[in-house]
Amino acid sequence: MGFDKNKHLENVLESHKMKHVDDLMKKSIIKREEIKDALKEKFGDEVISRAINSGSYAKHTAINTKFDIDICQPFRYKGFGTLEEMADAVYDYFKNEYKDEDIVSYKTKKQRVSTGLTFLIDGAEIQMDVVSGRELLEDDYSSTTRLNLYVRPKNLDPATSTQTNIQKHVDLIKGKGDERCIIRLLKAWKVSSNTDIKSFFMELITIRAFNAAPEIPTDMWGKLEMAMEFIRDNVKTIRLEDPANANNVVSDTLTDLEKEMLSQKMDTMLRQINDNEENLKIYFPLNKQFHSEEEKKKLAALEMSRRGVVSKPWRND
């Protein structure tokens, strides 16, 4: 009796659905395609193919409070002298040359493996990472989809390069409906609690949680609980490798302290929710902005339920 955790989680997913931002999404996709066109036009001889979609939207793990329309542009092996030249050429082009009145140009920035673009569309900031990668060998990409990325220096870490396979990342989550739901829920938690964890990290650890489970619970809360318990128990020690490149250790993107805190957060949430189910609403809130439609329906149901002649329902066995 009372609060239904599964129903609530379904509502959370529903209120975070991309369809609520359909208009914004359509406009964002137009921007994305314009960027792809521009890259092809600008670097005509150097590009192998049109850029591919690589963001959460492409992976079906996007939520409407935070989504990105990232792309990855594959370049020819002979396109640039060095990986750094390639990465900087893309950055310079968008920083200095490319014109779009919706781009917030001071926010165009060099990121670890990409150029970050920010669009302001209908008052919403849309983030787009343009990853540039170079094929490993001449004419290798079309058959392997492998790319080398330039990794910019950060703090004390010097510049390096990494081999990856963006297409493989997109494919990784294909057909994994359960995992995608849990990833979206964990993202909703992440955004609402301002927790900064890389989405790719969350995706990989969630997939591992499902793989490690002897039996997958059938209900939504059961699945979420299972994933949260797995994160709590394993985040500090687990090694998460980029499925496209075992040398790229994704779990290293969090420090030990960050891992410890993530484990503790999971522990706290699980205990609070077990103490009182309704605490689930605190950690996994509805997206109020798109709850209004639900709120309306809820009120409609309440109002109409009061137009009857029966005073109260009876729980009869």
Contact positions toward another protein, by CB under 8 A?
Answer: 1-4, 7-8, 11, 294, 296-317
Question: CB 293 → another protein: shortest distance, Å?
Answer: 10
Identity of the residue, 19 or 312, whose beta carbon is nearer to another protein in the bound complex: 312
Q: Taking a C-beta distance cutoff of 8 angstroms, is the pair 234, 164 a contact?
A: no
Containing H/E element for 118?
strand 114-121
Tell me how many degrees the CA angle 84-90-93 measures, rounded to the nearest 5.
130
Question: CB 121 → another protein: shortest distance, Å?
Answer: 29
Question: CB 60 → another protein: shortest distance, Å?
Answer: 26
Identity of the residue, 10 or 267, whose beta carbon is nearer to another protein in the bound complex: 10
Question: CB 74 → another protein: shortest distance, Å?
Answer: 47
Largest CA distance in the chain: 81
Q: Give buried/exposed letters for 89-118 (b at 16+ CB in 10 A, else e).
A: bbbebbbeebeeeebeeeebeeebbbbbbb
Question: CB 279 → another protein: shortest distance, Å?
Answer: 14
Q: Radius of gyration over alpha carbons of the chain, in Å? A: 22
Identity of the residue, 8 or 187, whose beta carbon is nearer to another protein in the bound complex: 8
Identity of the residue, 97 or 303, whose beta carbon is nearer to another protein in the bound complex: 303
Question: CB 10 → another protein: shortest distance, Å?
Answer: 10
Identity of the residue, 252 or 278, whose beta carbon is nearer to another protein in the bound complex: 278
Question: CB 24 → another protein: shortest distance, Å?
Answer: 24
Identity of the residue, 30 or 300, whose beta carbon is nearer to another protein in the bound complex: 300
Structure tokens of 12?
Answer: 């959370």
Coil, strand or helix: which one is 92?
helix
CA distances to 187, 192, 200, 202 from 195, rounded to whole Å, are 9, 8, 14, 12
Coil, strand or helix: which one is 227?
helix
Q: Tally the residues of the chain.
A: 317
Report residue 99 CA to chain centroid gap: 27
Identity of the residue, 159 or 299, whose beta carbon is nearer to another protein in the bound complex: 299
Q: Taking a C-beta distance cutoff of 8 angstroms, is the pair 281, 8 a contact?
A: yes
